[in-house]
Amino acid sequence: MNHNSRPGNSWEQFFETGLVLRRAWKEQQECIADVYARMAPYLATPQDTPADYAVRQGPIPKAYYTWRKNIFSSLFHSVYLLMDFPPAHRAFYGRLIHLYRIWVTSADNLLDAEDKIVVPIDMPGQSRVMRQVVAVMAADRVLSELLAEHVATGVLTAQQALALSRDTLRRLLPSAAQEATEEGGITVRPDPEYVLNVIHRLKTGLLFNLAFTAPELVETRYPADKATALKAALMEFGLGCQLLDDVRDLARDLREHRHNYVLSWMAHHGLDLLETQAAAAAAPVDRLYLQVPAAVLPAARRGFAMMRNGLAKLGQAGLGCDARDADRMARMMFNVLDLAELSHA
């Protein structure tokens, strides 16, 4: 059986035919386009700037709007449909989702010396770091513009706008604090359950609940019980994805002394194995996880189960996927997260 084809088709089919997820994706595409349109004026240098130092927003690739690039954003947006928020509110919240994506991705690029472009900016030189800084500053100005506009149209009160300006940052601070603890490298690997349920819950799980920040402050008829169930489902799915990230990033996290569920499991259950791999991780090693299946496969299976369970719970809440769909979609995440070799395990 080809384990790589059916799961991919399952996600794609769900985005094309699933009533809720397709609608969420289409609405999110509009939100993304509007955010980039609003950012462009902030990313244009004054006319008298010498040509060698001119800056402008680059073209937005069509790939930025594909379902594959927007699995997480579309899932987040889908909760607004499931909670039956008004269209004008969904449009505002969807734009905040993309601003969060810009802030988080740009920060990750700065922390991890990566260059996952979320805001194309034409700027002199290689400018990897400065492009991230400018993207964050431009996104902040778009937030201010959106808040002022929605106060003027009556979607928000002035007090709600002030609270959102504050909480869109405050909700990110626990995740930022967790990342800060790893900047200089860690010296002790805690118990793997602590990594999953405390560290990763702050690092990644929290990000899968950011979509609820604005509705909690704005909606007069906020369905708290349903929101709690949706939050738990997205948290479980997000933590499952993080477990797969830990598998994929095994070599990097060992080399750079970062928290990693698999490495903590090895440290607490097989230190000799950990020491054996330390030499290999001293230099870039691709697919190091393939060398330690005894530690990797249980983590991958647990991540798969959490993703599948989270998606199944979203299905029960109205997303439209049944248990079989959830299984296939979770398996496809191995491909999305660049772990196709493990999808059969």
Q: In this predicted model, what pLDDT tens digit does every residue of 229-279 receive, in sequence order?
A: 999 999 999 999 999 999 999 988 988 899 999 999 999 987 666 666 665
* 176, part of any domain: no
* 116, part of any domain: yes
Rounded CA-CA distance 78/74 in Å is 6
Mean pLDDT for 135-155 is 97
pLDDT band at 194 (very low <50, low <70, confident <90, very high): very high
Residue with more model confidence, 156 or 126: 156
Stated as kind and residue range, the H or E segment containing 57 is strand 56-57
Rounded CA-CA distance 52/241 in Å is 42
Matching residue, tokens 């607490």: 268
For residues 196 and 327, membership in a common domain is answered with: yes
* 37, part of any domain: yes
For residues 192 and 222, membership in a common domain is answered with: yes
* 230, part of any domain: yes
For residues 98 and 227, membership in a common domain is answered with: no
For residues 139 and 256, membership in a common domain is answered with: no
For residues 250 and 343, membership in a common domain is answered with: yes
Please give the model's pTM, rounded to 2 decimal places. Answer: 0.92
Range of the domain at 295: 187-345
**Contact criterion met (CB below 8 Å) for 310 and 243:** no
Tokens of 131: 């492009």
For residues 160 and 232, membership in a common domain is answered with: no
Long-range CB contacts (within 8 A, 24+) of 226-232:
226/82, 226/83, 226/317, 227/79, 227/83, 229/313, 229/317, 230/79, 230/82, 230/83, 230/314, 230/317, 232/313
Mean pLDDT for 22-35 is 97
* 8, part of any domain: no
- What three-state secondary structure class fits 288? helix
Mean pLDDT for 292-296 is 90
For residues 227 and 84, membership in a common domain is answered with: no
- What three-state secondary structure class fits 122? strand
